[in-house]
Amino acid sequence: MKKLLLTGVFKPFGVSDEYGEALCTMELLNNQVTREQGIHSPRSNNPSFGLYLMAENLEIPATVLDFPDWEDFTKEIRNGNYTHVGISFIVPNVLKVKRMAEYVRKHAPNAVIILGGHGAGIPGLEEIVDYDEVCRGEGVFWLRRYFGEDVDKPILHPVSPSAVRKYVYGAPIISDAGIIITGVGCQNTCRFCATTHKFEKQYTAFLSTGKEVFDACVKTGAALKVEDFALMDENFCKSPKRARELLVNMESHGKAYTFSTFSSAETIGKLGIDFLVRLGVKFLWIGVESKANVFEKTQGIDLHALIADLQNHGITVLASAILFMEHHDKQTIHEDIDWAISLESDLLQFMQFGPIPGTRLYKDYDAEGKLLKDIPWPKQHGQDEIWFNHPSFTLKETATYTRDAFIKKFQTHGPGVINMAHSYVKGYITVAREVAERQKRGMTWNAETLRYEETGNHAPDEFMKLRLEAMKRSALEFRPVFKAAELYAPNIAAAKKARMVAELYEATFGPPTLTERVQGLAVRGFAFVESIRAKDGDVMRQPGTIRHEWPDRHGAVPQATEENHWVRHREHKRPQTAAAASRE
């Protein structure tokens, strides 16, 4: 009988060894968003969502092994009797995959090795890794076809948190949230985008209707006891009908869920801020890329005004900019960095213009002879030195420019957590005022026009009362960090900003409760310990190994999983640090 293991690469992550680089961690924010913010940076690890989605939607027995150490992986191979082993990876981790495949060949020689993920696009991959099959597109349908299963069966959404091992200032106070994978791929066709090209410039919806998204929220929310969700989708609101249906279902069931997701600037403009607020969007990741406006998705849009409007309505913004594009020289790159910082987004990612295998940019640069063939794959992660010839910069300069850009953002606007807290409280104030004004004017929500219109109905908007309560909860989550943010601020301006936000909270929500004061003191204690660890260079926490099993479901009627895997299979907390992992 067929039996499948789906696994990510082994840890430790974020250490310089024969398999990887210190700047290639398993942390999104600390690695490439709040980088250089030290103890102010939120810390978390995101599970390998795609593995759980694939396992949930196959009939054959499947096991997911996420964040394994070498001992976990080898034990699984020796004892699991797997007929197929699938390994998902990104480009910088290909040498880890090489070692894993070699072990499978030796200890489970009859197992079929399947490779997938963004790393599967590496040219000449067969010369690096000994494998049998490679999935270079969407995994659920590829595996169903491969195992001879019904490709057209409905997609079942797994239960999964959006992040694990979450800390800020060393304190485990970040609330839980679920992940909802609504679809993959992007049709904006940016030539550098690995996601666009991996999915062949097409969008594949896993949850096609707003009702399906809502049901996935209900299922995950009940299992994890959460009402906050990350919508994993390159541009969720690019499908406005689905987003509108989601809102209708939330209103009819009295569920004011909150969401973090990705969006292009032009999509936001089409839907409007009022719709996003009512829907419950609290966090948006927007690709602003460059001041040069070289992409259609930002042309003709006043990004400064758009971001300010979002923040004033309680939607925190992560803007993403690109360094070392083709138009950049020693002057224009500084202009772009300063421009990106001037947008005053709560968080700001600087990512290097990088030709990723499989993209049109990679093919173009390869044909033009611009790729540096002697740069090893583990160094091609976008946060250190670039791996192509740029006429204006040396490789060493690119690492310095990237690091300095993050430092400048931090020094200019202070900790990202304070910026986010500021946006949340501003949004609560703004939306509360607008709700009161609309009631006074007799305005009600029109689901067709996505606007509030005067109808003479002065009745309270009951759903927006729920929304305001949800916004208040999101804001108050940050209250315990204010004093720590002030004490460890990078400069006087940042300390003053932390005090200002704390005062605004008190004016809006009243004095801190006893619980909030105790939490604040606890965070200060954690922050002190974290600051000591930072001086010793020991702040890298390795995620615990997570293992889930799915039994044989051949011939079973598809139905939602009732039991919460994340309750049954707690992550193993071994090891805590990179140093401990290396010792093991």
Place of tokens 């989708």: 233
What is the rounded distance in angstroms from the CA atom of residue 286 to the CA atom of residue 283?
Answer: 10
Task: Give residue 188's pLDDT band: very low, low, confident or very high (50, 70, 90).
Answer: confident
Contact 340, 348 (CB under 8 A): yes
Contact 139, 189 (CB under 8 A): no
Residue type, 265: A
The CATH number of whichever domain residue 26 belongs to comes to 3.40.50
Q: 12 preceded by cis ω (within 30°)?
A: yes
**pLDDT cut 70: percent of the chain above it:** 95
What pLDDT sits at residue 571?
41
**Joined tokens for residue 36:** 């250089």
What pLDDT sits at residue 555?
57
Residues 255 and 128 in one domain: no
**Joined tokens for residue 16:** 């310089």
Across 155-169, 264-278, 365-379, 542-556, least confident range: 542-556
Residues 126 and 38 in one domain: yes
Half-sphere exposure of 165 toward its Cβ, with a 13 Å CA cutoff?
Answer: 25
Number of domains within the chain: 3
Q: Residue 6's closest CA among 46, 71, 39, 52?
A: 52
- Please report whether residue 252 resides in a domain: yes
Residues 68 and 188 in one domain: no
pLDDT, tens digit, for every residue of 111-132? Answer: 999 999 999 999 999 999 999 9
Count of residues in the chain: 584
What is the rounded distance in angstroms from the CA atom of residue 479 to the CA atom of residue 494?
Answer: 16
Contact 418, 409 (CB under 8 A): no
Neighbours of 212 (CB within 10 A): 21
- Please report whether residue 309 resides in a domain: yes
Strand 4-7 relative to strand 62-66, pairing: parallel
- Please report whether residue 279 resides in a domain: yes
Residue 23 phi/psi, 5-degree rounding, is -90, 5
Mean pLDDT of the chain: 91
What is the rounded distance in angstroms from the CA atom of residue 163 to the CA atom of residue 107?
Answer: 33
pLDDT at 232 over 90: yes
Task: Give residue 194's pLDDT band: very low, low, confident or very high (50, 70, 90).
Answer: confident
Contact 336, 355 (CB under 8 A): no
Q: Residue 341's closest CA among 323, 314, 315?
A: 323
Reduced to 3 states, what is the DSSP secondary structure of residue 6?
strand
- Contacts of 243 by beta carbon, 8 Å cutoff, 6+ apart: 210, 236, 237, 271, 275, 279
What pLDDT sits at residue 92?
94
Strand 183-184 relative to strand 204-205, pairing: antiparallel
Task: Give residue 186's pLDDT band: very low, low, confident or very high (50, 70, 90).
Answer: confident
Task: Give residue 417's pLDDT band: very low, low, confident or very high (50, 70, 90).
Answer: very high
What pLDDT sits at residue 556?
53
Contact 412, 449 (CB under 8 A): no
Task: Give residue 174's pLDDT band: very low, low, confident or very high (50, 70, 90).
Answer: confident
pLDDT at 560 over 70: no
Buried b (16+ CB within 10 A) or exposed e, 20-46: bbebbbbbebbbbbbbbbbbbbbbbbb
Buried b (16+ CB within 10 A) or exposed e, 65-75: bbbbbbebbbe
**Joined tokens for residue 158:** 């797994």
Residues 552 and 475 in one domain: no
Residues 111 and 204 in one domain: no
The CATH number of whichever domain residue 197 belongs to comes to 3.80.30.20
Q: Residue 485's closest CA among 521, 519, 524, 456?
A: 524
* Domain end (from 313, 335, 355): 355
Contact 446, 433 (CB under 8 A): no
Across 199-208, 349-358, 516-525, least confident range: 199-208
Residues 338 and 440 in one domain: no
Contact 51, 88 (CB under 8 A): yes
Instruction: Read off the pLDDT of each residue in 535-554 and give the average, rounded to a whole number.
Output: 85
Residues 119 and 179 in one domain: no
What is the rounded distance in angstroms from the CA atom of residue 311 to the CA atom of residue 277?
Answer: 11
Reduced to 3 states, what is the DSSP secondary structure of residue 207?
coil
Q: Which alpha helices (H) appear in 265-381, and where do they start and end?
A: 265-271, 273-279, 303-312, 332-342, 360-367
Residues 344 and 423 in one domain: no
Residues 291 and 230 in one domain: yes
- Please report whether residue 381 resides in a domain: no
Helix axes 139-146, 49-56, angle to 10 degrees: 40
- Please report whether residue 377 resides in a domain: no
- Please report whether residue 578 resides in a domain: no
Residues 102 and 231 in one domain: no
Q: Residue 262's closest CA among 285, 242, 243?
A: 285
- Please report whether residue 271 resides in a domain: yes
Reduced to 3 states, what is the DSSP secondary structure of residue 352?
strand
Which pTM was predicted?
0.92
Residues 108 and 175 in one domain: no
- Please report whether residue 226 resides in a domain: yes
What pLDDT sits at residue 5?
98
pLDDT at 165 over 90: no
The boundaries of the domain holding residue 81 are 4-151+547-557
What is the rounded distance in angstroms from the CA atom of residue 303 to the CA atom of residue 263?
Answer: 13
Residues 333 and 435 in one domain: no
Place of tokens 């006429």: 391
Place of tokens 């069966």: 153
- Contacts of 184 by beta carbon, 8 Å cutoff, 6+ apart: 138, 195, 199, 203, 204, 206, 233, 234
What pLDDT sits at residue 576?
37
